[in-house]
Amino acid sequence: MIIPLQQHAGAVCNPLVRVGDTVSIGQLIGDGESRIHSSVSGEVTALSEMPHPSGKDVLSVVIETRNGEKKDIKPEELHAGTIKSIIREFGIVEPNGLSTMSKQVDIDTIIINGTNTGDLSANAALMLDHPSEIVHGLKALMESVGAKKAIIVIELNSEALHVMRTETIPDSNIKIVATPAYYPAGTENTLVKKFARKKVPRGSTPEDRGVLVSGIAAIKALYDAVHDGIPMITKTVTVAGAVRSPGNVLVEIGTSVKHVIDECGGCSGTPVKIVINGAISGAAQYSDEVPVIKTTSGILVQTESDINREPPAPCINCAWCVDECPIGLMPHLLYGYADSAQFDKCAELYIGDCVECGMCAYVCPSKLPLVQIIRYGKHGVAEMEGGTVEAEA
């Protein structure tokens, strides 16, 4: 079992265990901007740089699993002022790696993104299997931040729509909204503008406008923390593509992608590419030994017939990527600046606002790897700004 010490947006956590230590399920093993807990019991056999879904090697805790007891963690009492600490203590992060709540501000409305993205259906699976837990987690969050209303956004054709409507009948302040399936449906600013009727200015967040946006998995994790004292150590993942038994599976954090695929019957055909988190916005992996982490929502296996191998060509400045960007960015310029390591220019063009939906790369006639280079640019900006802060200190 390989548990990376970076499963969030931010710096790698500091390890709290050493080689030879025995760990229990739920034990804290990494601390920093977020917290990392062990998903298994066993012995720590290594602390080393290991493959990571981001494409780089990350300091990880390697555990040889064995039967053992769970760490005794008391459930937390959720009330005003404690929500941020609970989210951090239990290592709860959103699909983008950010904390569910980053600021202590007045929240009037909570929007829960229950939409699915293309070949990913983990959100629907969670709502079908745990509707009561999700509603209770949402109500606890509403009470703790003082939100007067909440909206759960679900696609019209989702099986979870009727289930969640039934579950929320007694709650007049929780509204289930059905939306046509479109991509990308789950960008925070789009959800706020469409369903809360508020515009988020460039450089601001939904919280600045009194709206908190969260995902189904994070709300379920919040329920687990408050009700059962369980940290975020499992993830529901969609396994799709060239596998014998595709579907949604509950996976322990740190499980290798290869093991998950094998548990779904193995590959059907010869796999040539494994993509984490969807065909459009996901990232191809260089090894099937990369682990499932907190931000993993899907594993897509592709054979040769599934792949378009057109070589990239120079940008022709057609601006199709600009037309498609749901955030209103200029991906072609961000690509050029990031590719030439001009990270100051990337920051000026708000590269941090990119939600990595992949639409720019999807429509690009030159087949440029826009998303991958923009991700590189984001990391460059983060390192540049981190260095500036250290220099000023």
CATH classification (class only), 234-306 = alpha beta
| Residue 267 marked in a binding site | no
Tell me where in the chain the CATH 3.40.50.11540 domain(s) lie: 83-228
- CATH architecture of the domain 2-65 equals Beta Barrel (2.40)
| Residue 364 marked in a binding site | yes
Q: What is the pLDDT of residue 390?
A: 45
Asked whether 359 and 325 are in contact (CB, 8 A), the reply is: yes
pLDDT tens per residue, range 297-337 = 999 999 988 887 889 999 999 999 999 998 889 999 999 99
pLDDT tens per residue, range 239-268 = 999 999 999 999 999 999 999 999 999 999
What residues are paired with 299 via a beta bridge? 239, 276
Measured between its terminal Cα atoms, the distance across the chain in Å is 39
Backbone angles phi, psi at 324, to 5 degrees: -90, -20
* Residue 51 DSSP SS3: strand
Edge-to-edge strand ranges of the sheet holding 35-37: 14-15, 28-31, 35-37
Edge-to-edge strand ranges of the sheet holding 247-252: 247-252, 234-241, 298-302, 273-276, 283-284
Of 61-70, 265-274, 371-380, minimum mean pLDDT range: 61-70
| Residue 13 marked in a binding site | no
- CATH architecture of the domain 83-228 equals 3-Layer(aba) Sandwich (3.40)
Q: Tell me 354's DSSP state.
A: -
Q: What is the pLDDT of residue 91?
A: 94
104 has a pLDDT exceeding 90:
no
| Residue 346 marked in a binding site | no
Tell me where in the chain the CATH 3.10.20.600 domain(s) lie: 234-306
| Residue 318 marked in a binding site | yes
Tell me where in the chain the CATH 2.40.50.100 domain(s) lie: 2-65
Rounded Cα gap, residues 177 and 389, in angstroms: 43
Block residue for tokens 């749901």: 326
70 has a pLDDT exceeding 70:
no
Number of other CB atoms surrounding residue 123 within 10 Å: 29
Q: What is the pLDDT of residue 17?
A: 96
What's the predicted TM-score (pTM) here? 0.88
Q: What is the pLDDT of residue 393?
A: 45
pLDDT tens per residue, range 153-205 = 999 989 999 999 999 999 999 999 999 877 776 688 889 988 999 988 887 88
